[in-house]
Amino acid sequence: MTRHDVRHYPGLGLLTAAFFAYLYLPIAVVVFFSFNENRLVSVWTGFSLKWYDSALSNRALLDAVKTSLTLAVIAMVLSTTVALMAALVLVRAKGVKGRRISETVVNLPLLLPEIVSAVAVLILFSQLGLTNGLAKLVLAHTAFCIPFAFLPIRARLQGMAPDYEEAAQDLYATPWVTFRRVTLPLILPGVFAGAMLAFVMSMDDFITSNMLASGGNTTLPVYIFGLIKQGTTPELNAISTLIIVASLIIATTALVLTFRRRIP
């Protein structure tokens, strides 16, 4: 690139470097201090893994992880199933009445600030007298996970010509067999990506879970929020680092699946 390239703006490289520093330094700080031996978070005295040890033997934390994982897996399965069905109809079926309004309804959680929908389900559940904590969380999480599962599945379906499905039908495959043997294998990367997004969104959720929180059903973010309110500790950093590592692994898998080569 020459100095006289008119498309080149000076200083952009520096700005981009500063931008990435801003993006990653906070995460690096958390990871770095999780290895600090000292009780005081920001006084570095030496390398130690003891906070990981204490985090992994913390009963309350493990319970929260269990609640969050159970919730996220159920919400992921339900929301991906619902989203897959909706995507098949909205992309593939002909002559669907009210396609636009159905699409808006599927994506509704993206159009509302989460605090509003959280308050809305709280009032509904209290009016219905619903007391099962996990059931309330599953319903609410499934709803806001649906658009995150829907969008990658729809993208995959839209990027795929209907020829294969038509060929299968010409060979007398029933709609179910066509779906099982042709459509599903072809859109599987999109389904996986959507399921993973849904899983992460459920694991990550604070606003709705906190609003519906009841004893015995504390999710991981709600538990962490409680710890943060008591002040920063090295154990909190160790927990955060474990979460960061887990999310990076899931994110990388999902991105690889999404950007894998398109079907011919």
Site for another protein in 119-178 (CB under 8 A): 119-124, 126-127, 139-140, 142-143, 146, 175
DSSP 98: T
Closest distance of CB 128 from another protein, Å: 10
Cα–Cα distance for residue pair 28/34, rounded to 1 Å: 10
Cα–Cα distance for residue pair 179/229, rounded to 1 Å: 50
Count the site residues for another protein by CB under 8 A.
Answer: 85
Phi-psi region of 119 (alpha: psi -120 to 50; beta: other; left: phi over 0): alpha
188: which 2 tokens?
């599987």
Cα–Cα distance for residue pair 102/108, rounded to 1 Å: 10
Does residue 237 bind another protein (CB under 8 A)? yes
Q: Which of 36, 67, 80, 117 binds another protein (CB under 8 A)?
A: 117
Stretch in the footprint of another protein (CB under 8 A) among 29-37, 56-64, 151-159, 187-195: 29-37
Stretch in the footprint of another protein (CB under 8 A) among 9-17, 55-63, 153-161, 184-192: 9-17
Specify the length of the chain in residues.
Answer: 264
For CA atoms 240, 246, 249, 252, give the dihedral sign.
Answer: negative
Q: Residue 41 or 61: which CB sits closer to another protein?
A: 41
Q: Residue 67 or 237: which CB sits closer to another protein?
A: 237
Q: Which of 2, 3, 23, 100 binds another protein (CB under 8 A)?
A: 23
Provide the mask over 51-80, with x wherever binding to another protein is found by CB under 8 A and - wherever it is not: ------------------------------
Q: Which of 37, 63, 92, 130 binds another protein (CB under 8 A)?
A: 92
Which residues, numbered 172-231, are part of the site for another protein (CB under 8 A)? 175, 200, 203-204, 206-207, 210-211, 221, 224-225, 228
Stretch in the footprint of another protein (CB under 8 A) among 28-36, 47-55, 152-160, 187-195: 28-36
Does residue 9 bind another protein (CB under 8 A)? yes
Does residue 244 bind another protein (CB under 8 A)? yes
Cα–Cα distance for residue pair 77/194, rounded to 1 Å: 10
What is the residue whose two structure tokens read 């619902």? 82
What is the residue whose two structure tokens read 């159970």? 70
Does residue 21 bind another protein (CB under 8 A)? no
Cα–Cα distance for residue pair 184/187, rounded to 1 Å: 5
151: which 2 tokens?
């969008």
**Under 8 Å between Cβ of 145 and 201:** yes
